Amino acid sequence: MLKQVSFIFFLVFSCYMGAEPKLGLKHLTNEVEVNVAASRVWELYRHLGISFLAAQQLKNVIQSVQVLKGDGGVGTILKLTFVPGNSSYTDKFIVINDAKKVKVAMGLEGGCLAIGCSVQIVKLEIIEKTRDSCIIRSDIGYAVKKEFEANDPKPNIQLLAAAAQIAKRFLESSGTAMSA
């Protein structure tokens, strides 16, 4: 058990530091350009704002969002239950870097972990382009258990892509700063 926890910590730290290609993780990435300052987008993504906004806008996909532990900072455990309510995904925020505008969450259960992946790491980055525009980059790094490689299980990045589009519409249409 200690070896497994040590490996997961090493894997997560390595992903945050940008060494994941050497670890053999596969990636799915989505980028959305937003005509709003990166600091405003980060306000929405930094805590729980994007999760609740996406759930509010995607009621046909997300049945509920539950904070199992924490307040949106590092260590927060979040559970998304999907419509019709029989599947869910739980992750833990492990990195929140305000200077780099990066948030990393490690999957705990559900998602591709339920279909043969051994690791699922979600990295959200807000990348400043100009003073008034940025890119929301959503990346899922994952590894497949050997016994499931033939099935080629993959996480689904569509929910993160939809959340980024919702954030774009919300932020570009609102002229005032909001707090998450």
Q: Alpha-carbon torsion 9, 32, 116, 113, what sign?
A: positive
Q: Which residues pair with 65 in a beta bridge?
A: 80
Per the listing, tokens 């570009």 go with 172
User: Which positions ≥6 away from 10 have C-beta within 8 Å?
Assistant: none
Catalytic residue among 92, 101, 103, 123: 103
Please state, as a whole number, how many other Cβ atoms lie within 10 Å of the Cβ of residue 132: 12
Q: Check whether the bond before 153 is cis (ω within 30° of 0).
A: no
Annotation says 103 is catalytic: yes
- What is the set of active-site residues? 103
